[in-house]
Amino acid sequence: MHIVLFILGGGLLAVVAGARCLFLARWRVGWAMYLCNVVWEFAEKRGHIGRFWLESVAAVLGLGLLLVAGVVWGVVMTFGVLLLLLEIVNRFRERTLLTSAYTRLNLVGTAPFPSANPDLIVTLEAPFVERKPRYRLGVLWVGVPFDFEVVVGNHTIVPTQTPVKIRITAPSSWLAGEDAERSLGPITFGSVDRSSWRLCPDAGCSAGRFELTVVWGGSSLCIPIWYDGCRLAADVKIERAVITRYPGGRRSAFAWRGDMDLYDTSTLQSIEGLESALGLAARYCFPQTMFLSTRLSLDETAAMEWAEHYGVDRGASDIPRFVWWLRERVELRHSCAYPAVSDKPYVMELGNHGHLHYDTATSAAPGNAWKSHARMGAGRYPWIGSDTSSFGEQRDNALEARHWCERLFLFTPRSWAQPGRCNDADTPRAVEAAGCEVLSGSDIRAIDNVLLQPVPHHPGGSDAVELTSRYPGDPRHIYHVAMLLFWLHRSQRRGLPMVYMCHQHLRQFEGYACTRFTEYLLRTVLADCHGDFYINTLFGIGKYWREVLSQKTRRVTVLLVGNRIVVENRSDIDVERVPVDLYLADGARSTLLVSVRSGAGVTIDLANAQFGHGR
């Protein structure tokens, strides 16, 4: 056997096969699958050859090298068949994602046929000490009530035909006379409904569980809820109280962010394109952030001048209608947790993407002699003040974008995203000086997006918060989806926010694949992770981390005095359902969800079951 040829052939086949082991995404060993896919993504971009053809040639070459190296023909054929089977399974899975409506046909029962029932998504809100791998409430306190809320979301395109029945099997004495069974709906598509109980353990007991059952249209969902017993607070020593998680006792967070570099009908960065993305988000009650570069999106004169320079028509004459549409049809919010609902058709955060969009073709302007992919220092622009340093230029560029948003929408962007891959050592402080508190891409390199996962941090000596997006963005095939699922599960394991980068045009100019894959990812976050992701705008997540979780800037604090817990909120935001985790002397845990207004405090006396709102 020729060992060199054997290693080369085996290596090629390993990279081809590893990229197809999509089932590894949820585990740590998923790094192997992810890195193999990175290899092929890099080869496709550098070689300008379709990935499928590159992998096909590599597979054939690898099999051929094994044969030449002296591997038995039957073994080589087995490897080839296994590769083919992996490809067939993945293509079938891809087709399923592209065609699924997330509904079920009525095949039994009394409902007239044909008809369809939606796959509902159930989210639980309660003081969980953990949500994965199972819902666990930890230690509960005798005489101390807690709220148990059920949020039922119908994010399909069909309504429920019958009411949704919800039943809880908690001990009847905990219900204090409330009915154990509730009825909701029918629930229309693109909406949520809620039901809640206030449960209060009335006596000490050992560990146990109860169940929540949701029944609708011939479908049912049974969720077991575990608890670690009920105790009298006076008999327990609490060693420490900490806040280390996101609202609702969630381990991680998830944000959908996109960019809009210019108003452009050819790439559906337009009203028609945005209606699809915002409509998808509205159906899922899912908040999102769109970073807007204002020069070619809001300034009709500049946009027309840019288009004339290139001899194209990108729809600049529609900009006044676009401004009206944003005002009338979209509610702009800085923070908006799931489920995001509004009186207007759409809701989102509008972020700062700079006035001039550096590092792309849209940066060409009279001030830089129409230089494409211009960076800082390439020209002199009317909105730049006397400070022409990199710091001054970036600050004034972000300030100009802010002024356009304030003038047209009465909205001040408080988050910022990197245009192209353009940043330097001055970027974090410059955009912070323009009023942006949460940043994405301010101090990162390509390797940080692709191979690393920086924790939330304060970049470049600033007090702003950097939340780095994950690679790849704008998923276009099943392998992109698997790579994003890898990051999703890793984020959940490590308690890190995941920023999903997907432009609001959803690459609709190429087809519908990105839209369908995005819908699948949204459903996965909502339905398959036990609600362990705090879903909000980029600003909402970064602001919470800054005020509550950051060791440097946090202004929401918890103090333990005996069995009394004092939560102080000195920040400028109200915080809701902040999880205060209690660690007991015997190693057990308990969680309290506390809501505190800005500038106020809450004192909780577990021994006397008292909740006092202070100052």
Distance separating alpha carbons of residues 350 and 332, to the nearest angstrom:
6
CB 144 within 8 A of CB 204: no
Distance separating alpha carbons of residues 177 and 290, to the nearest angstrom:
47
410 and 449 both lie in a single domain: yes
Torsion of CA 341, 342, 347, 350, to 10 degrees: -120
389 and 463 both lie in a single domain: yes
409 and 355 both lie in a single domain: yes
| DSSP-derived secondary structure letter, 584 | E
346 and 418 both lie in a single domain: yes
608 pLDDT band, cuts 50/70/90, is confident
527 and 558 both lie in a single domain: no
Main-chain dihedrals φ then ψ at residue 421, nearest 5 degrees: -120, 45
Question: What is the three-state SS of 507-541?
Answer: CCCCCCHHHHHHHHHHHHHHHCCCCCEEECCHHHH
What pLDDT is recorded for position 185? 82
177 pLDDT band, cuts 50/70/90, is confident
Amino acid at 63: L
408 pLDDT band, cuts 50/70/90, is very high
CB 431 within 8 A of CB 472: no
What pLDDT is recorded for position 615? 44
407 pLDDT band, cuts 50/70/90, is very high
pLDDT tens, position by position, 77-97 = 999 999 999 999 999 999 999
Distance separating alpha carbons of residues 215 and 163, to the nearest angstrom:
9
What pLDDT is recorded for position 344? 97
78 and 127 both lie in a single domain: no
pLDDT at 443 over 60: yes
- What's the mean pLDDT in 37-56? 94
CATH code for position 184: 2.60.40.10
Distance separating alpha carbons of residues 254 and 43, to the nearest angstrom:
30
Amino acid at 531: G
How would you classify the pairing of strands 330-332 and 289-292? unpaired
261 and 289 both lie in a single domain: yes
pLDDT at 426 over 50: yes
CB within 8 A of 53, min separation 6: which ones? none
Distance separating alpha carbons of residues 373 and 484, to the nearest angstrom:
28
Global pTM?
0.95
Last residue of a domain, one of 99, 132, 158: 99
19 pLDDT band, cuts 50/70/90, is very high
147 and 90 both lie in a single domain: no
Q: 496: which 2 tokens?
A: 């890190």
Last residue of a domain, one of 531, 565, 597: 531
334 and 439 both lie in a single domain: yes
What pLDDT is recorded for position 610? 61
What pLDDT is recorded for position 114? 77
Question: What is the three-state SS of 399-458?
Answer: HHHHHHHHHHHCCCCCEEECCCCCCCCCHHHHHHHCCCCEEECCCCCHHHHHCCCCCCEC
Q: Give percent of the chain above pLDDT 70.
A: 98
115 pLDDT band, cuts 50/70/90, is confident
- Residue 209 in any domain: the answer is yes
Q: 534: which 2 tokens?
A: 């705090």
What pLDDT is recorded for position 609? 67
pLDDT tens, position by position, 488-516 = 999 999 999 999 999 999 999 999 999 99
The domain containing residue 572 runs over which residues? Answer: 550-614
What pLDDT is recorded for position 49? 93
pLDDT tens, position by position, 538-594 = 999 999 999 999 999 999 999 999 889 999 999 999 999 999 999 999 999 999 999
What pLDDT is recorded for position 549? 98
183 and 123 both lie in a single domain: yes
410 and 262 both lie in a single domain: yes
292 pLDDT band, cuts 50/70/90, is very high
pLDDT at 526 over 90: yes
Which of 345, 340, 313, 315 is closest to 328 using CA atoms? 345
